[in-house]
Every structure is written in structure tokens, then in C-alpha cells.
Amino acid sequence: MWPLATAVDPAGRLRVGSLDLARLAERHGTPLYAYDAATIRAAYRDYVRAYRPFRPVRISYALKSCPLLGVAGLLAGEGADASAASLGEVLAARRSGYDPTRIQLHGNAKTEEELAGALRAKVGRIVIDGAEEIAALGRLMRRRRATQAVWLRVSPGIAADTHPHLRTGALDSKFGAPLATGDALAQARAIAATPGLRLVGIHAHIGTELHEAERYRELAGMLAGFARSLRETLGVRITEIGAGGGLKIPLRAGDHVLGLCAYASALGSALRGADAGKTTLYLEPGRSLVGRAGVALYRVVGTKRVAGVRTFVSVDGGMGDNIRPALYGAEYTAVLAERAAAPPEEEVAIAGRYCESGDLLIRSVALPTPRAGEVLAVPGAGAYAVAMASNYNHFPRPAVVLLDRGRARLIRKREKHADIWRLERR
Ligand SMILES: Cc1ncc(COP(=O)(O)O)c(C=O)c1O
């Protein structure tokens, strides 16, 4: 759950390598997100190692999980591709050092302006997700000499075993052209008939935080079968297959997660069997690359005890910097950064500061009785927290530091109130 070099020192203080997390909170203020560079690099290398037997494979970092330039840039440095969910993420990927040809743009509602921006940015692959997009892209390509390599996102009709909000590959989904209804084949035919577009790949993502390797095997089998039918019916040769992201990470002791090797062999062997290494497999991990590396640091503000019901410990952050508990019931744990070895004294709920009853960061965690002013550290906070941060209640968004080789570098300044209304007029 914690970054790789996390330890509790003899004084009971939580450290990542030589860096004392409570001291960082003092220096940079709270809420503060600290990302450990070594943990991100190691996670990427684990992917490369796990998929080595199934080459050719490209690991494409899903920027949606954390689009900070300082974090995305680390993975560019490792040689990752970038998977972008919007033009904004394409531009962030470029700024963080990704070669444009190694960027894939997703999105189920790309506007013509967004598509034009992507062409200007020279993205390597546009992942078509919607019949109108084919015509829109075709219109844009008429004014250009080059051709654009595209993938087609399909919906395999697999209802994965995860929270309904995290499911994306069922038939009843806004994403992808369904294989079962014939829409996928119809859209592939339309792409093949559109001058300026080159259909080189197909893509599907069935959801995130999946538990069963079997679903990935099923997915790989369906994608390989569809690639085969495109060759037979349209004479289109698919050379790239995108299988999405989705590997869960543990957030609390005892959380069961699917192992990287089981995931790799489920996807990899099904595809290798189907196409003997001629097709490049693209993976788009997000949370499993950056989730573990991120620790959220808050300051305890106060405690409310409701005898026989619950003890609420309020902190100076919450759903504005991490909406996942409110959005889909994500369950985190926490420790007190200055008393990390002290035995727990009670079960408490960690309440955020936002004006919503649903703003409970943690429903129940055993801690030594927290005191106002202490620093609370929440592990596993690197993915989809800062990325989804908002200014709800006009709280400024948190600062972010990157821990690398014994130093903490500020990679995102703390927002100020003036930043929030900078674009507004009375
Ligand atoms: C198309 C696509 N690719 C990749 C991902 C990344 O998933 P994860 O962060 O769970 O690995 C997502 C997340 O929802 C996605 O929608």
C-alpha cells in the first residue's frame, strides 16, 4: 500500500526513504500529496518484466489517473507511451516529454475542435469511439495530405466484476461500438472506406479494479476473433490491439487484488495464441503505476464523539482532493505520521471538510486517538485523487511534491483563493 521505501523510524515517525512525511507537511502545508518517484519507476518496470514473454507489448500510461507533468514525465523517461482521455491530456503528455507519435487519444464525445487539436498535436493514434467521429475525422483529413492511423474502440459485452461505475465493457455502456450488435463491424467498414483514415488497431477496456483474470482472457479472445473477422471480411489487417488498463491496487491491509503475472498471462497468452506475435499488445495502466506511489497528508482539525454511534475525526481535506470514497465507495486506511508505531486505541471515521454528509474519507480506521494538529497519512492515494480534484466550497486544491533521491521537489504549487476566481468577472 505504501511507497517502496516507507518505514517507521525509531521515534515512531513515518518516512519514505530519508524523508519525514510530517516534516514535509509542515514545510509545504496540508493537504499535501507526496509521490515517490522510485515506486513509480519500479511499477513500470514490473509491467515490462511481467509482459516480456508476450512481446511485442507497449505500456501506455493512462494520464487520467494522474496527469501532473512531474509524474507523467517520469514515465515518459522510462519509455512509456501515453494514453490520453482528452485533448488536454494529449497536451499534458506532450509537455511532460512524450513523443506525439506514442500518444493515443480516447474519448466517447470528441468534438471536431478536439480532433483538429489532436491532429495539430500529431498524436500517433486516435481511438474512434462513435459513428459521427468517423465522418468528422474524415472531413478534417480531407484538408490534409497525410493519413491518420486510428483504432476502433469496441464494446465486447463483458460485465466485469467491479463497481458499476467502474464497468466499461458491458453491452449497456456509453463506450465502444458493440461487437454483438454488428455496430463494431459496421464502423470498421466505414473507417476503411474513409479516405485519410488507416484502421490499424482495435481497442476495448472492460473496467477497472477487476478481480478475475478470466475476464481478461475472454477479452483477449474476443479482440483476437474480431481482428480475424476484419481480415476475412474487409481485408483489413489489424496490427495493434489495445486491451485497456484496470489492475486494482490494495488500499487496506487484506485487500485482495489480481496479481500482475496472472493478469499478464491471461491477456498475453490468449493474444499470442491467436496471432503468434504479429500484433502489438497495448496496455493502458493508470492506478497500478502511480496509485501506490502517492500518499495524502492531512492535518487533524477536530473530533466529534457521538456516544455509542461513531467518532468523527475531521481533517483539512476530503472530497475536493479525493472524491473516490464518495463517488464509488473506495476504502482507504490511514496512520498518524508522527505516531506510526503507536497501538490503536479506537475506531474512528475520517471526515472531510466539505459541506456534504457523504464527505467521509474513511468510514472506519483503528488509530491511536488523534489529536488536533497531528498529521494523518493516507496511502494508495496516487491515482484518481489529485486528478479529480475540484474547488468545491472554494477550497484551493492541494500542493504536490515528488520525492526523488532523498529530495522533495514541489511539482504543483498549492492553489490560492485568487486562483479560483481568476477567470471570473462580477
Ligand atoms: C480507456 C481506459 N484506459 C485505461 C484506463 C486506466 O485504468 P486504470 O487506472 O484502472 O489502470 C481507463 C480507466 O478508466 C480507461 O477508461
pLDDT tens across the length of the chain (426 residues): 999 999 999 999 999 999 999 999 999 999 999 999 999 999 999 999 999 988 799 999 999 999 999 999 999 999 999 999 999 999 999 999 999 999 999 999 999 999 999 999 999 999 999 999 999 999 999 989 899 999 999 999 887 677 777 667 678 889 999 999 999 999 999 999 999 999 999 999 988 877 788 888 999 999 999 999 999 999 999 999 999 988 899 999 999 999 999 999 988 887 775 565 689 999 999 999 999 999 999 999 999 999 999 999 999 999 999 999 999 899 999 999 999 999 999 999 999 999 999 999 999 999 999 999 999 999 999 999 999 999 999 999 999 999 999 999 999 999 999 999 999 999
* Strand, helix or coil for residue 303: strand
- Which pLDDT does position 211 carry in this prediction? 78
Residue 275 has what pLDDT? 61
Rounded Cα gap, residues 155 and 180, in angstroms: 8
Tell me, letter by letter, the H, E, C secondary structure of 222-267.
HHHHHHHHHHHHHCCCCCEEECCCCECCCCCCCCCCCCHHHHHHHH
pLDDT at 215: 87
Smallest CA separation from ligand 1 atom 12, residue = 245
What pLDDT was estimated at residue 410? Answer: 98
d(C-alpha 141, C-alpha 136), whole Å: 9
> What is the β-pairing status of strands 399-404 and 32-36?
parallel
* 208, 288, 292 from 40: Cα distances, Å: 19, 9, 8
Tell me what pLDDT residue 278 has. Answer: 81
Considering the chain, tell me which residue range(s) the CATH 2.40.37.10 domain(s) occupy. 6-30+293-420
Q: Give the per-residue pLDDT at 372.
A: 98
pLDDT at 169: 67
- How far is ligand 1, taken at its centre, from the CA of residue 207, in Å? 7
Using CA atoms, how far apart are residues 275 and 220, in angstroms rounded to an integer?
11
Distance 205 CA to ligand 1 centre (A): 7
Closest-lying ligand 1 atom to the alpha carbon of residue 384: 9
Q: What phi and psi, each to the nearest 5 degrees, are found at residue 298?
A: -125, 160
Give me ligand 1 centre to Cα 104, in Å.
13
DSSP-based three-state secondary structure for 426 = coil
Strand order in the sheet with 19-20: 6-8, 14-16, 19-20
Burial of 292 (0-12, 13-18, 19+ CB in 10 A): buried
Which residues is 303 bridged to in the sheet? Answer: 313
Query: For ligand 1, what atom is nearest to the CA of residue 168?
Result: 16
The domain made up of 38-287 is a member of CATH 3.20.20.10: yes
Phi, psi for 393 (deg, rounded to 5): 60, 15
Question: What's the pTM value of the predicted model, to 2 decimals?
Answer: 0.96
Determine if ligand 1 sits within 6 Å of the CB of residue 286: yes
Residue nearest to atom 3 of ligand 1 (CA): 244
The 10 Å Cβ neighbour count of residue 242 is: 27
Strands 280-283 vs 57-62: parallel, antiparallel or unpaired: parallel
For 6-30+293-420, which CATH class?
A: mainly beta
CATH 3.20.20.10, the chain: domain bounds: 38-287
The x, y and z cell numbers of residue 286, run together, are 493508470
Beta bridge mates, 154:
177
CA max distance for the chain: 72
Ligand 1 nearest-atom number relative to CA 127: 1
